[in-house]
Structure 1
Amino acid sequence: ILEIVASLLSSSPVDILRLMKIAFMRVLNQVAASLGWPDEALHDELVRGFRITGLQDASGVFGLDPRPASGTKEDLLKQSKHLRPALWAKIKGAPLDSLGRELWDITYAEYRDKSWLEEPRTFSQLEQLMPEGWVPTRRFPVVQHDKLRPIDDLTECGTNGACSTLDKLDLRALDETVFTAMLIMRCLESRCFALRLDDGRVLRGRVHPYWLQHPDRACVLVKTVDLKSAYKQLALHPDDRRFSVISLKDPADDEPKGFLCWVLPFGSIASVGHFNRVARLVQRIFHEMKLLAANYFDDYPLLEVAELSQNADRCAKAVLELFGFTWAKDKDEAFSPCTDLLGVRAGRLAMPDIRWIERAHHDVKLDDLDKNVFRMLASRVASGKPRVLTASTSAARALVFTDGACEGEEGNQQLTIGGVLYFWTGRAWFTRWFSGFVPAELASSWRAAGKRHLIGPTELYAVIVARHVWSRFLDNTRSMFFIDHAGVLSSCIKGTSRDSEWRKLFLAFEKIDSSSPSLTWYARVPSQSNPSDSPSRGSSDFPTFGSVTCDVASCPIAKCSLRAVVSEVGEKGVVP
């Protein structure tokens, strides 16, 4: 590092920044090696620059999800001979409005003030500079929270199509942060802890009286440390700069100009993976520093008890500065009991529609179901109650089993459902159950939609009815739903389905769940082990725990009671 610092005296400003970055990266590499970090290629790429075309090797940090390229970068260079003038003409033909002028000012500042880009060049200048070929990347503006954000379209120009990726990113920051906060609260409530480690050992102990005597010291606080212009802190490999020539119209002469890029462009699928590799290493270093840190792209949610919060804040920022990363001072806030953490997660049912509309290249006409889905989303965002998670160790828990049955010939099937609830009050178990026939009007609507096999919607309908009938037990409660139909289980986990009839059922579920959401986990149960198979087929012979109550099932869609399948209460197999 001293040798690098000594060479700064005779270097240009751009070279100084590069040499300083190398010094920081050498320190980062030594720390990564000491931690046994699996991404051994990261250091070389940090120094030389990251590629955005070709095969991106697996990092060893994430799981695998191979996504092959649609072509090679050699193919892209051949196609660029005809693609360049077409994209250039498209940029020239687009009208220049106030957003376009602001976009130019932001882009020019990236060259003049930040050294992220080279000087603007004309088409002929770029042709002379790169006679082997280059690809113009159209830059367009997106306004977010009254702020203009430049987006580089690397899909339109074909660069993303020439990139293959192997890593599957896992984004668990919100879950990890909430779980950690609840774990701390449980330990404080029980005054002891028992944590199972990865190697199977159990870490046991008691909470120190220092925290128990003054509860305000142990108040759980949260904040987020945000990296500033995250992708722009990582260099683009020199050989791949030709595949991302940032291009937009110059207001001075109304002609397109192109900027060669020094840093990772925002809009490259490779940029996402490369940045997250770096971000996870930083998170690992945070953990080594005993910081309770999660990671979501360029955000690091931090948890800490009040007494140690200032120390945690300073420590996290010191780590970032040590390795040459810039954090967003303008967004920085103190630790607090309440914070805007990673935005809002709401309306799983609407999200596939939003993504589909976003990708569509034509006008999209919404049907009545789509409109209802978006009304539900708007309602939950505007006035929905916040989700409450109970950290208490004595909180109630519910185990729900559902099943459906279709008996008889096609077109004249008898559709029945059943459900069994095992509920833990905190002191004792009790059992509730129901059975019922699917309303004729609902079955007719499924057949009218062209469905021949009705077991799928029947099984899903059983889940909806169970959530409706047992709302007073499931509202704001931890619950596990056990389902023996693979398709229904998969759709419940995702919270949606491509099938319009199934989506109608999920819309009914969201309406029930919106006021007092249940914290639900969905799991598979083999049909032979499913106790709700019995009531769905007209039997009350299934295992029970504690007192037993038979509930009258009702339909949240047709607004009617369901005729019970079980006509007589038989003997139940009681489990001691």
Structure 2
Amino acid sequence: MPWKGKRILLVGFTPNGAWEDAARAKVLLDLGFVPPSGFHLPKAVQETPSNLPVPHPGTPDGGPIRSAIDPPVPKPSRVPYLLELFCGSAGVSSAFIRLGGEALGIDRCLLPRSIKAPCVRLDLTRASDQALILDEVRRADIIWLAPPCGTCSRAREIPLRASSGASGKLKAEPLRSAACPEGFPNLSGVAGRRVRLANQLYMFTAQVVELCVRQDKVCVIENPSRSWFWSTRWIKPWVARLHSLHSHACMYGADLKKATRLLSTHQLPSMQATCDGAHAHKSWGLTKSRGQWGFRTTGTAEYPSAFCKAAASDFMEICASRNAFPAQEVVSEAFGVAAAAGRQPRGQSFQVGPSEFGSTCTMRVPVSVSVSEVIDGQTPWPLQGLPLGSRLLNSRTVTGEGGEEGVREVKFGIFRTPDSFLREALKMRHPFDEPSTSDMGNIRAMQVVLERGVEGTKTLRQKTLDYYRRRELELRSDEEALKATMDHRLAAAVWTVPKEAQACRLGRIAAEASCKKASPDLDVARAVWAETLEQVEKSWMKGPFSWAEIEKKYNGCWIPSKRFGVAQSDKVRSVDDLSEFLINSAVTETEKITLEGIDHIVSLARFFLGATTAGVTTFRLPASEGQWVTGRLHSDWRGGRARLLRGRALDLKAAYKQLARHPKDGWVSIVAVLNPDSGEVSYFEAVALPFGAVSAVTGFNRAARALRRILSILFSLVTTNFYDDFCQLELEPLQESAREIAEEVLGLLGWKIAQGAKALPFDRVFNMLGATISFERAAKGDVLVKNKPGRLEAIEEVVMRRVSERRCDRKRMLSIKGKLLFAAGHVFGRCAQLATQLISHRGNDRHQGREHMDDLLNALQFALETLKSGGPRCVGAWSQQPPVLIFTDGACEQEGNLVTHGALLFDPVTGRKEVFGDHVPKCLVERWKGGGKKQVIFFAEIFPAVVAKATWKDVVQGRRVLFFLDNEGARFTFIRSYSAQVNATDLLMISA
């Protein structure tokens, strides 16, 4: 035994299921109990009253009076947050997010195509940026630092052989040594500057570590084991105080035996795996790629995926001991909105249904024990106590402190029993009926309308508007003073609402040639020219200028961008091509814009219609965090009047042009426009945001989202926005109030609204984002979505023209396919989407004979006819009725000679239970085997789902249904309505 003498054994018991109750779990955490592996803090589903609670008179702050025996209030848990400095591709952040945490990467240079997680570009050598980072460090739970090691690399000390062919092309002289770890004193030029900047980063790294230690944060520094970085005067003192963890990249899946050292405030058991010699490595040294010599160390900067996962796993364990737990479900806003609108998005970001494992078991076993993937009768001790069939989920080697031999930590998933799985499935609500992740502003706006009634809502909106009108008068002088400080070149746009010379000559030739090439249609070119001159009159642009005038103004340092026109149905849209000469390539955007499209509008309409029903005096709306907004329904809306829903589109006029670009960006805001009458190219300086700039999209959407939140939160207007297209939803008696308030608020804020056909009143049927939304059946709880009048007719005209000509080249084929998919997307035209796949199959066929063309044209006609016959998309009101459960399975045995299938149905509403099972007809199996296939399990898994929908169509019609399939390929095929297997298309068509 490891102890001697007297000892006291304390045993603590917790009742079964204590960790499944939110209140009990919080108390246990506050008392210091360690939660079970894989624990997620349960969400407490509460009824949130719509009225604010009345303050209790017993305490000055209105809080409740606490007695002496009240239990301590546990600290609320939180989602852990990781900050990754010098993040590169942000691999650690990505792994941490996948485990349910929050993370942000920061670096000076970010490559958009390589970034794996949200990142911000900051210069870590700049004092102002360092101050921002230190503020963020104070918020974070974990800080990961990986300072650049290029100047500290020991590989610089390795001499290059003259025979290598690269000795004269690669110069990697040492910049530091044991005697001079901060750099040789005689360094100058580029090398000296690199060392100085690196030292600034090392000094800042030490500053971050000191802050983390002082505030008890988890902090980890990463660098190569032999890097001179560890010997610098800023880092060396911390080496003696913190944990040094050594590992080899080959143990995490890398090809090279790269030695890595971590300096950590906490032990990280998974980050100490050193090479076991059981695998081969690539050799170090030089490498040649595309004719260029380089060091093999160049490609080792990015961490292996397993390395990132191991670090994230250790961080989660530390955070759990600090009452920080991963989010229970990591669901994107786009996923939640799409699901709420009745569309199952693609991807694996969200698990639908209970997990297949009822529990997990984590054990530590000797490294010598052979661990199998599945527990069976031959499993060695000490794993014999696990249930048969348990599956290995994770395995890692944990090294003991002091370098002693470690142990293997294994985590097994224990499958649920069929009865247990069914019980959990019966507790589920269908994802389409779950509260969406749309912002609470619109939900609260619905609450105000339903609770206050017609006059109460009008009064509230008018009082709010009157308040901000008074504030506008009070602040008018301050606003004018602010305007006076603006750059004079921008104020009008916003408030009226030698080698270099040679390069410039080449730039002029390229710009003007590109501009003329992009304007082959004179009518389009004239429309673009006329619009440009109109923008000059409105002070959105300045010009026209000649090349010489712009050259003189910017002293040869400027970049032109051609402007070209895109002919649309009702106008010509001018686009500024800031990509051609790489202006957009110089911009890094890591933020992802979540647009509120048709799905979002339909989702909100469903919640509005489903909030109450006839004969009920209360309403109920979904809220975030699994809670509800409830209240008493005003008498104005009883008797079914709460379903008199109306909608309209509200469009900002020339939206991008109502915002100014930065004064210092003039040199990259020059637009080249062809004058079609003279044939000459003139130059204009854009003062407002150019339509075609990457940053203009992000900048405008920030402003547009702010406007939408102002309308919904401050003025209780149910509103969405898709770029500059706003959609308003309102009940009929309040539609004039909603229109007037929205337009007055936008006018008060200085925004201009489109008029005429783009400013139509509220109606039961209205056009939005290329679709027609109808509330004609809102009394029954239905929202209808269909294509705008004329769209299908226009597509049909193009298709029939191709049919009559018996000709369709690849470019036209792709154009027609795109139009069909766009039209099908509005109405959930799964049949039409499947039909377009036949177009792709025929279009990608290399055979270009008459038979091929006939097949392609037939596929086009079939897709069009399928879409025309499909009718509008119908989305029902939000409901809490439990879904029908259908379990399907297929089997393929004896090399495809025995193929069987079956399904089970359970309806929790009626208690109906049915099952079927059968052999798949041989004629179908033979068809699936076309092309020499022996295994047809993919088809066998699809088939029972198709049969189940046909067999139980009377049960599932009008109901939510959850299908459980145990084949990922089949599941994704149904979600996407697509399969690369042509033979599966017929099955999908029947299912659709």
Q: Structure 1 167/392 Cα, relative in aligned 2: closer, same or farther at 3 Å?
A: closer
Q: Is residue 5 from structure 1 mapped to residue 432 from structure 2 by the alignment?
A: no
What is aligned with 1:100?
525
CA RMSD of aligned residues (A): 4.1
Alignment of 1:121-520 (within 5 A): 121-186=545-610, 187-189=612-614, 190-198=616-624, 201-212=627-638, 215-216=640-641, 219-288=644-713, 289-330=715-756, 331-344=758-771, 345-346=826-827, 347=829, 350=833, 374-375=860-861, 377-379=863-865, 381-391=867-877, 397-409=883-895, 412=896, 414-423=898-907, 428-440=910-922, 442-444=924-926, 446-449=928-931, 454-497=936-979, 499-501=980-982, 505-506=984-985, 508-510=987-989, 513=992
Q: Structure 1 353/11 Cα, relative in aligned 2: closer, same or farther at 3 Å?
A: same
TM-score for both structures, normalised by structure 1? 0.66
Q: Structure 1 413/17 Cα, relative in aligned 2: closer, same or farther at 3 Å?
A: farther
Contact 1:8/1:19 (8 A) holds in 2: no
Identity among equivalent pairs (%): 29
Q: Structure 1 106/377 Cα, relative in aligned 2: closer, same or farther at 3 Å?
A: farther
Gaps of 5+ in 1: 25-76, 514-576
Q: Structure 1 324/465 Cα, relative in aligned 2: closer, same or farther at 3 Å?
A: farther
1:473: how far off? 3.9
The one-letter amino acid paired with 1:234 is: L
Deviations 1:410-439 (A, max 9, x none): xx4544333333346xx5132344334445
Look up the SS of the partner of 2:591 in the other structure: strand
Q: Structure 1 380/395 Cα, relative in aligned 2: closer, same or farther at 3 Å?
A: farther
Q: Structure 1 243/17 Cα, relative in aligned 2: closer, same or farther at 3 Å?
A: closer
In 2: Cα distance, 1:448 partner to 1:392 partner:
44
1:191: how far off? 3.7
1:253: how far off? 1.4
Contact 1:188/1:207 (8 A) holds in 2: no
Contact 2:942/2:987 (8 A) holds in 1: no
Contact 2:834/2:985 (8 A) holds in 1: no
In 2: Cα distance, 1:486 partner to 1:78 partner:
59
In 1: Cα distance, 2:752 partner to 2:558 partner:
31
In 1: Cα distance, 2:631 partner to 2:861 partner:
50
| Pair member with larger Rg | 2
Give the structure, 1 or 2, with the largest relative contact order (CA under 8 Å, sep 6 or more): 1
Contact 2:946/2:990 (8 A) holds in 1: no
Q: Is residue 116 from structure 1 mapped to residue 116 from structure 2 by the alignment?
A: no
1:269: how far off? 3.3
1:136: how far off? 3.1
Contact 1:139/1:246 (8 A) holds in 2: yes
Deviations 1:445-500 (A, max 9, x none): 55545767643343334434433444444445433333333333334333335x24
Look up the SS of the partner of 2:768 in the other structure: coil
Look up the SS of the partner of 1:304 in the other structure: strand
Contact 2:890/2:940 (8 A) holds in 1: yes
Q: Structure 1 97/465 Cα, relative in aligned 2: closer, same or farther at 3 Å?
A: farther
In 2: Cα distance, 1:237 partner to 1:403 partner:
60
Contact 1:294/1:301 (8 A) holds in 2: yes
Contact 2:504/2:556 (8 A) holds in 1: no
In 2: Cα distance, 1:293 partner to 1:364 partner:
51
Q: Structure 1 446/200 Cα, relative in aligned 2: closer, same or farther at 3 Å?
A: closer
1:325: how far off? 1.6
Deviations 1:307-364 (A, max 9, x none): 212111112112211222222122111111111132231446649979x99xx9xx99
1:271: how far off? 2.5
In 1: Cα distance, 2:491 partner to 2:687 partner:
15
The one-letter amino acid paired with 1:154 is: L
In 1: Cα distance, 2:634 partner to 2:563 partner:
56
Q: Structure 1 10/477 Cα, relative in aligned 2: closer, same or farther at 3 Å?
A: closer
Look up the SS of the partner of 1:120 in the other structure: strand
1:509: how far off? 3.1
Contact 1:4/1:20 (8 A) holds in 2: no
Deviations 1:108-141 (A, max 9, x none): 2122x32222212334443333345433323222
In 2: Cα distance, 1:400 partner to 1:385 partner:
27
Look up the SS of the partner of 2:588 in the other structure: strand
1:209: how far off? 2.6
Gaps of 5+ in 2: 1-475, 772-825
In 2: Cα distance, 1:78 partner to 1:379 partner:
58
Look up the SS of the partner of 1:225 in the other structure: strand
Q: Structure 1 505/195 Cα, relative in aligned 2: closer, same or farther at 3 Å?
A: same
TM-score for both structures, normalised by structure 2? 0.40
Look up the SS of the partner of 2:613 in the other structure: helix
Mean Cα deviation higher: 336-345 or 200-209: 200-209
Q: Structure 1 300/9 Cα, relative in aligned 2: closer, same or farther at 3 Å?
A: closer
In 1: Cα distance, 2:513 partner to 2:924 partner:
55
Q: Structure 1 177/402 Cα, relative in aligned 2: closer, same or farther at 3 Å?
A: same
Look up the SS of the partner of 1:314 in the other structure: helix
Q: Structure 1 254/448 Cα, relative in aligned 2: closer, same or farther at 3 Å?
A: same
Contact 1:116/1:262 (8 A) holds in 2: yes
Deviations 1:26-85 (A, max 9, x none): xxxxxxxxxxxxxxxxxxxxxxxxxxxxxxxxxxxxxxxxxxxxxxxxxxx999885653
Contact 1:402/1:463 (8 A) holds in 2: yes
Look up the SS of the partner of 1:119 in the other structure: strand
1:301: how far off? 1.5
In 2: Cα distance, 1:138 partner to 1:364 partner:
39
In 2: Cα distance, 1:268 partner to 1:127 partner:
22
In 2: Cα distance, 1:332 partner to 1:146 partner:
16
Q: Structure 1 270/13 Cα, relative in aligned 2: closer, same or farther at 3 Å?
A: closer
